[in-house]
């Protein structure tokens, strides 16, 4: 019995990154405190990092707050699909946060331009209604539009 337990522990240690494995990249084990200074990041990384820190600390809705009501899940899915179907939108646009709670949609995250922001908001309003969308999208600094 102890032999099986030992084998299980060894197997789990390898699944979790190995025993003292040294070939990890520097970013795999990076914590927010050990992240490189802002000057070492690109504008996109800086924007995403600062927004993620703000999201964890604030009272604003985050994806974890997404309602599991079928109606809310459907709204979120329809908005996400409309964004993915628009080939003119950037990868940043495709990765925004869409949070639906009791029919009210919150859009959060960085986008590349004011035009992209307006297109996303219009898609969300078409699905959820013009009064049901809280636009908290942010145009990335240094992006052209």
Q: How far apart are the first and last CA of the chain?
A: 65
Provide the 8-state DSSP code for 102. Answer: T
pLDDT digit string, tens, across residues 16-55: 454 443 443 344 444 444 444 444 444 544 455 555 565 5
Sequence-separated (6 or more) residues with CB below 8 Å from residue 67: 73, 100, 101, 102
Q: For position 49, what pLDDT does the model report?
A: 59
pLDDT digit string, tens, across residues 53-87: 655 556 688 888 898 999 999 999 999 999 999 99
- Whole-angstrom distance, CA of residue 141 vs CA of residue 112: 8
Domains of the chain as residue ranges with CATH: 67-145 (3.30.1340.30)
Instruction: Report pTM.
Output: 0.60
3-state secondary structure 66-97: CCCCHHHHHHHHHHHHHHHHCCCCCHHHHCCE
- Whole-angstrom distance, CA of residue 89 vs CA of residue 111: 9
Q: For position 141, what pLDDT does the model report?
A: 78
Q: For position 85, what pLDDT does the model report?
A: 97
């Amino acid at each position: 019995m102890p032999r099986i337990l030992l084998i299980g522990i060894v197997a789990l240690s390898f699944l979790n990154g190995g025993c003292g494995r040294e070939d990890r990249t520097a970013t795999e084990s990076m914590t927010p405190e050990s992240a490189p200074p802002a000057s070492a990041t690109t504008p996109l990384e800086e924007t995403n990092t600062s927004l993620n820190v703000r999201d964890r600390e604030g009272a604003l809705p985050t994806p974890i707050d997404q309602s599991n009501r079928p109606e809310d899940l459907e709204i979120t899915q329809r908005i996400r699909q409309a964004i993915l179907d628009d080939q003119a939108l950037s990868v940043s646009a495709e990765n925004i946060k869409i949070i639906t709670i009791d029919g009210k949609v919150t859009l959060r995250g960085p986008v590349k331009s004011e035009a992209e922001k307006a297109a996303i908001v219009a898609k969300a309003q078409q699905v959820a209604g013009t009064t049901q969308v809280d636009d908290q999208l942010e145009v990335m600094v240094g992006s052209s539009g």
